[in-house]
A = this chain, B = another copy of it.
Amino acid sequence: MNINDLKNSLDPDATGREMHELITELYPLCRSITGNGLRETLNRIRKDIPLEIHEVPSGTQVFDWTVPKEWNIKDAYVKNSKGEKVIDFHKSNLHILNYSIPVNRRVSLSELKKHLFTLPDYPEWIPYRTSYYKECWGFCLSHNQFLQLEEGEYEVFIDSTLEDGFLTYGELYIKGENEKEVLISCHVCHPSLANDNLSGVSLATMLAKHLATVSHRYSYRFLFVPGTIGAIAWLSRNEKSVSKINHGLVIAGVGDSGKITYKRSRRGDTEIDRAAVQILKQSMQDYEIIDYYPYGYDERQYCSPGFNLAVGRFSRTPYGQYPEYHTSADNLEFVHAESLGDSLTKVIEILHVLENNRYYHNLNSKCEPQLGKRGLYSSIGEDELVLLWVLNLSDRNHSLLDIAERSAYDFASIHLAAKLLLEHQLIAEHRRA
């Protein structure tokens, strides 16, 4: 089995349902950029793929950043003067401002309100908020809940710890025929948010599971890291081997029903960028290509000027462009098996381009070879035309992707034509220095 077989055999719907099931399992865990929720998540993923778990001690300097204290939380609530829990962490782990310090005190409503976050425009949704690098506490709640809070004294209780510990991340290296790597990275730090980014986590998991079963040219490195600090920590600890990364994708927000959006790498026209554009163009589905900008997910780190890696971002609707983003409405209903399966399929097709994008040279470069005597001449012009394109441009300077771009044939057709010509000894691979 190779990646071509994988591409052809994958059932997007069944796989999409499997991905949704993994999301469903991971959804209740209270993740953060450190702590036990993150560990439990990685351990669950290890059931599917042999993730290596790394623990980086709090206080470790990673480039301009310092690994923060580890945060854990057992319980959190706000009780009104009648002793009723008006906000309860156990009902939704979005209720707690992520990284809230421990608190046990009584406050007036006006004091409490300084620590409450709501979404007046979406009064039924709980926002998701964090305060990783500035110690404070707070609660998130629906605006409707907020409006029902009555004057009086409230009991605030947060049973959290913020102590020296570790930042945890997962890594999986799947060795290929050569040492050149494709990086697949997803952030795994958000609590109960399905699209952002359990969808990316499940796609990466499923992709790794399948890639492990097929042969491939590139080696693949999967990172399941807390956003920003996790990617920075990994880059800091692996600075010397980063140059092995030839291509990469940040996978995030791939389960919603919107069209696929590919964000180019900082370099803008690398092979991964062109492969993604090629696949989306020929997909006959709506899609969008956006240029690099220095914001977003961990492509910010991979594409920082000192690394400038060929890493693009694969998403559906971009973060912030759907109202459910970073709210309790980014839930299990917001992500769909169909979208998840489609996203995975497209990523595999992109990798298929990378895996098969080679240079050839035409062994009969002067005039056309006689296709007829080899049984390659069909009366249907178009079949023959794809062969002629590959022959005409196989001059050591055009890769199959170049040929697909110039001929407007899809990559898979160009690749099949090259395979046929190779079998008939009409072209030979040209290995570039």
The chain A residues found within 8 Å of chain B, CB to CB, are 62-65, 133-134, 228, 231-232, 235-236, 239, 266, 293-295, 300-301, 303-308, 362, 364-370, 372-373, 381, 384-385, 388-389, 391-395, 407
**A388 and B295 contact, Cβ closer than 8 Å, known pairs A63-B364, A369-B64:** yes
Residues of B within 8 A of A308 (CB): 395
A391 and B294 within 8 A (CB): yes
Cα(A369)–Cα(B300), bound, Å: 11
Cα(A131)–Cα(B290), bound, Å: 52
Cα(A134)–Cα(B304), bound, Å: 62
Q: Which of A228, A294, A303, A389 has the most CB of B within 10 A?
A: A294
22 contacts between A and B (CB under 8 A): A64-B367, A64-B370, A65-B370, A231-B367, A293-B385, A293-B389, A293-B407, A294-B368, A294-B392, A295-B384, A295-B385, A295-B388, A300-B368, A301-B368, A304-B365, A304-B368, A304-B391, A305-B365, A306-B362, A306-B365, A306-B366, A306-B367
Residues of B within 8 A of A301 (CB): 367-368
**A64 and B300 contact, Cβ closer than 8 Å, known pairs A133-B372, A293-B407:** no
Cα(A372)–Cα(B307), bound, Å: 22
**A346 CB, nearest partner CB in chain B, Å:** 27
Cα(A295)–Cα(B362), bound, Å: 16
A239 and B388 within 8 A (CB): no
Please give me the residue from chain B that is nearest to A134 by CB atom: B372
